[in-house]
């Protein structure tokens, strides 16, 4: 990492942390699933500076958010896993085709989170597996909407940032 990269990762981690405080549930029926726009910031770093820079932004903002606000280690770990998957697939294929990259990242991340939640929901709520099945439609819809919004938002923002910061 060169100096410019290190300072940009620092600045963007601060921005990602700030926007994470916006978080709110999309569906009242599954209020443990909360939308926040911080993965947009991580993807904006990952596209020009590499996937590991995006991962660093995610880890820094999530650790700080855990310490300052949430205190819920399971929720933070789920946020990190979903963010890693989304940023990995979106950034990897972004420059080939941003619509395909964003759609792929959204769908793969949704499938991954559906699978992980099959284990995590019963454990987290100390409830039988049937609770997961009850939440399943919300989990699918939440992840599709969250990461759908994120990748669509990144498209105009990359163009804007290119102009303002010359992020290349
Ligand atoms: N975040 C996601 O982006 N996708 C998920 O599928 C997801 N599942 C979660 C399941 C549980 C049981 C919890 C507690 C959190 C989950 N989260 C998920 C993270 C949540 O939306 C929020 O970002 C964190 O709880 C941080 O406040």
The answer to whether residue 130 sits within a structural domain is yes
126-132 average pLDDT score: 98
Tell me the residue range of the domain where 99 lies: 3-20+36-165
34 three-state secondary structure = strand
Q: How far is the CA of 114 from the centre of ligand 1 (A)?
A: 11
Q: Is residue 40 part of a domain?
A: yes
Has residue 143 been placed in a domain? Answer: yes
Note whether residue 63 is domain-resident.
yes
98 C-alpha to ligand 1 centroid (Å): 25
Does 37 sit in the ligand 1 pocket, CB within 6 Å? no
Question: Given CA atoms 53, 75, 86, 151 in this order, what sign does their dihedral have?
Answer: negative
| Domain containing residue 71: CATH number | 1.10.1760.20
Indicate whether 28 belongs to any domain. Answer: no
For residue 160, name the pLDDT band (cuts at 50, 70, 90): confident
Q: Is the pLDDT of residue 167 over 60?
A: no
Beta bridge partners of 25: 34
Rounded mean pLDDT, 21-41? 98
Q: How far is the CA of 41 from the centre of ligand 1 (A)?
A: 18
Residue 25 lies in a domain: no
* pLDDT tens per residue across span 33-71: 999 999 999 999 999 999 999 999 999 999 999 999 998
Counting the structural domains of the chain, the total is 1
Quick one: which atom of ligand 1 is closest to the CA of 121? 12
């Amino acid at each position: 990492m060169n100096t410019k990269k290190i300072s940009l990762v620092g600045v963007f981690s601060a921005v990602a942390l700030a926007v994470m405080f916006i978080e709110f549930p999309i569906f009242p029926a599954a209020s443990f699933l909360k939308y926040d726009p911080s993965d947009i910031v991580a993807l904006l770093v990952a596209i020009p500076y590499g996937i590991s820079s995006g991962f660093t932004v995610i880890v820094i903002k999530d650790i700080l958010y855990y310490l300052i606000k949430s205190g819920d280690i399971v929720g933070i770990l789920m946020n990190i896993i979903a963010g890693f998957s989304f940023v990995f697939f979106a950034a990897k294929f972004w420059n080939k085709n941003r619509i395909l990259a964003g759609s792929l990242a959204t769908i793969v991340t949704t499938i991954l989170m559906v699978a992980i939640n099959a284990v995590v929901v019963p454990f987290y709520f100390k409830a039988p597996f049937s609770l997961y099945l009850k939440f399943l439609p919300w989990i699918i819809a939440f992840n599709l909407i969250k990461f759908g919004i994120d990748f669509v938002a990144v498209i105009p923002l990359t163009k804007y940032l290119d102009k303002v910061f010359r992020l290349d």
